Structure 1
Amino acid sequence: MSNVDSAATERVSAVYDDFGRRWAHGTSPLYEDWACGIARHPDLCARIAALPRRLQQPNLLFAASRWAGCALEPSESWIRWLRSAWDDVIAIATERSVQTNEPNRCATLLPVLSRLDGPVALLETGTAAGLCLFPDHYSVDYAAPSGPRRVDPHGGATSFALACEVDADASVPERMPDVVWRRGIDLDPIDATDDDAIAWLANLVWPGPDHDARVERLRGAAAIVGAAPPRIEPGDIIDLVTPVAAEAPREATLVIFHSAVLLYLDAEARRRFADTVMGLSARLDRPVLWLSNETAGTLPEIDARVPAGLAVDHRFVQTVDAVPVALAGQHGAVYETSAFRGA
């Protein structure tokens, strides 16, 4: 690892420490232990720093380890195993990618989508298997201040339900949106009928009691989507968003949406994507709504509109046309608007 400088090693250590202490803490004790364990081993951080950036992600390294058959053991034992299985783990990581397709995020999209009048056209950028392109097809149990509320699809309740806690009764949808067109864009689309691909998505779900229900929801959503798979265009979201959006029916409200996608782009690419989407309405001569769930730090103009001191750990900042409207749990478990009411 002589070609890896100390700054690169320290950067990887900081990334893993932050992942453990800020993102996994309180939601996946095992991943918190693994990430913080990696951060304490300079030789492993140097190994990771020598990899292409895409392969340095904690999510990918951990999922590849599990796919290779590691035991879900404390970091001391797991790191010994990782050293011995390093080549196999990196080979898996090289062939696979992080495409966490969490259908429960639909519960945090519905408060906005359900209030749109008339038919809706959905275009998801970074869609993976398209599980979030069907927010109107899943039952949702909302825990509201006034008590539990259930919202079902027009065709009736599903065998599983999404779950979300909201801090305002007004956030609970009164109805499902009338979605008449769905399309996705992804560098590496996933076939919802491919058992191996869905097994990898399930493997990407973090271990821990907070996440156990996510695997059941993912498989249930994959069965629904697999019965009528959406069209997913393979390619770069910046290059394709305009031509694909141009195909949406003009009588429908076009919604461009994404969750946890822009963090995988560099700052320049994020800027290009944001400028492209914000200019779509003028280029297509039609109304376009941009609905985004991304982490703080993604775009500076959005960060500037988030109240100072607001805790955003384990939360996306949800924006509508680049205006923050809520905090949304990274896996859709909570939806909070209180900090933005009247802003």
Structure 2
Amino acid sequence: MAAQDDAARIAAIYDDFGRRWAHGTSPLYEDWALGIAGDTDVVERLADLPRAKQQPNLVFASMRWEGCPLLPYIDIRAWLIEHWAGVVSTGATWSVQTNEANRCATWLPPLSRIEGPIALLEVGAAAGLCLFPDRYSVDYRTPAGVRRVHPPAGPSDVLLACTVDSETSVPARWPDVVWRRGIDLEPIDAADDGAIDWLANLVWPGPDHDARVARLRAAAAIAAADPPEIVRGDLLERVTDVAALAPAEATLVVFHSAVLLYLDAGQRRRFAELMAGLEAEIGRRVVWLSNETMGTLPEIDAQVPAGTATDHRFVQTWNERAIALAGQHGAVYETAPFAE
């Protein structure tokens, strides 16, 4: 019964990934996910792997790393069975670390509202590409037209793009970032070409994602030129001591995207409790910014109006108060659902 339950759980994960996340944005991954969801043999093979290695993003990236043709599932199923050992080996070596710099376009609106110096601490930082929101140019597509904003140093080699539902979301000022740190189980050196190749391989195939690879490599060059310190370790164990290193005169901003979904319910609750007590623990102002999916924390879900479309979107929160919906790869930013 346990094995059957595990197989059913995995099939449901792949079905949800295909129908809810890949649909409309990566037709190939939608096809692969739905194909595997209905493939008893492959689902049983996945059930033999550690749970962290069963996830679609990792399996699909491992398939591509091993040379899987970008063809419909019916055409690559035999390849997958034949190369299963290699796919499993690659998945055991690497992990999912979606380091999408375009998410900074959705971080800038709340960051721009914080006056004075800011210390950034990203949990789940990977190569730290999201630790440079003040180094990228952005095209904000507003109801009135496109507004391009450049960082204080001038136009950047990295141009982000984001559609917003309100002119007020376009930053009127840039955050004054004076300190940057990250925490990750497996930090990535932005100067390591092989590691950046893996990050590029994690980008989904499809026309909606083609620009992401070039943007990732350009952002990696910026990070490599001024590498932030990324501490190796578990976020639950390290967040307090790393936070305590931030300059006392700066507002510490702890932020993350699609990180808590990899924790179980108890771990998510523990992290939320750590964030709630962090300001008192380290004796300085703390802002907790979060981009996470529905279903991560029930108190956040309860703030999302019934009927709100949340596919391909995170719920963005400021100290556990929902303030916007943010596209999973930074392409949209919508405040209307939470307008007072």
User: Which TM-score tier does this pair reach, normalised by the shorter chain?
Assistant: over 0.9
Task: Report which stretch shifted further, 144-153 or 3-12.
Answer: 3-12
- Name which of 145, 152, 156 aligns with 1:147: 145
Letter in 1 for 2:60: F
Q: Are 2:87 and 1:89 equivalent residues in the alignment?
A: yes
Given residue 188 of structure 2, which amino acid in structure 1 is its aligned partner?
A: I
Corresponding position of 2:323: 325
Q: C-alpha displacement at 1:49, in angstroms?
A: 1.1
Residues 144-183 of structure 1: CA distance to partner in whole angstroms, max 9, x if unpaired?
Answer: 1111111111111112300000000000001221100000
Distance 2:217 2:173 in 1: 24
Residues 186-237 of structure 1: per-residue CA shift (max 9 Å, x gap): 0100000000000000000000000000001100000000001000110011
Give a deviation string over 1:314-336, Cα, whole Å, max 9, x none. 00000000000000000000000
Q: Which segments of 5 or more consecutive residues in structure 2 lack a partner in the other structure?
A: none
The one-letter code of the counterpart of 1:148 is V
Partner of 1:222: 220
Provide Cα deviations, 1:283-322, integer angstroms capped at 9, x if missing partner.
Answer: 1222100000000000011111111121111000000000
- Does the 8 Å CA contact 1:189/1:234 hold for their aligned counterparts? yes
| 1:183-332 matches, cutoff 5 A | 183-332=181-330
Write the distance in 2 (CA, Å) between the matches of 1:243 and 1:11.
Answer: 36
Alignment-derived partner of residue 57 in structure 2: 59
The answer to whether the 8 A contact 1:125-1:258 is kept is yes
Indicate the residue corresponding to 1:174 in structure 2. 172
1:34-66 CA distances to partner (integer Å, 9 max, x unpaired)? Answer: 000001111111110111001100000000000
Structure 1 counterpart of 2:81, one-letter code:
R
Deviation >6 Å, runs of 4+ = none
1:48 partner amino acid:
L
Q: State the partner residue of 2:16.
A: 18
Q: Which secondary structure state, in structure 1, belongs to the residue aligned with residue 217 of structure 2? A: helix
Deviations 1:52-82 (A, max 9, x none): 0011000000000000011100110121110
Name the aligned partner's letter for residue 67 of structure 1.
W
Does the 8 Å contact 1:4/1:46 carry over to 2? no
The alpha-carbon deviation at position 15 of structure 1 amounts to 0.6
Partner Cα distance (1:190, 1:134) in 2: 15
Structure 1 match to 2:105: 107
* Counterpart residue identity of residue 68, structure 1: E
TM-score between the two structures when normalised by the length of structure 2: 0.99
What is the aligned partner in structure 2 of residue 124 from structure 1?
A: 122
Equivalent AA in structure 2 for residue 58 of structure 1 = P
Write the letter of the residue equivalent to 2:288: W
> How many Å apart are 1:250 and its aligned residue?
1.1
Q: Output the amino acid matched with 1:143.
A: R
* Residue equivalent to 1:165: 163
- What code does the residue aligned with 1:338 have? A
Q: Deviations over 1:84-132 (max 9, x none)?
A: 1000010000000000100000000000001110111000011000000
Distance 2:184 2:42 in 1: 31
The question of whether the paired residues in 2 share the 8 Å contact of 1:291 and 1:318 is answered with yes
Q: TM-score, normalised by structure 1?
A: 0.98
Amino acid in the other structure paired with 1:142: Y
Instruction: Give the AA of the match of 2:165.
Output: D
1:193 and 1:93 map into 2 onto residues whose CA distance is 22
- Asked if the contact 1:4–1:50 (Cα under 8 Å) also holds between the matched residues in 2, the reply is no
Aligned to 2:44: 46
Could you tell me how far apart the structure 1 residues matched to 2:156 and 2:325 are?
26
Measured in 2, the distance between the counterparts of 1:292 and 1:10 equals 30
Kindly state the Cα deviation for residue 4 of structure 1 after the two structures are TM-superposed.
Answer: 6.8
Aligned identity (percent) is 65
Contact 1:119 1:253 in 2 (8 A): yes
RMSD: 0.9
Per the TM alignment, residue 268 of structure 1 is displaced from its structure 2 partner at its CA by 0.6
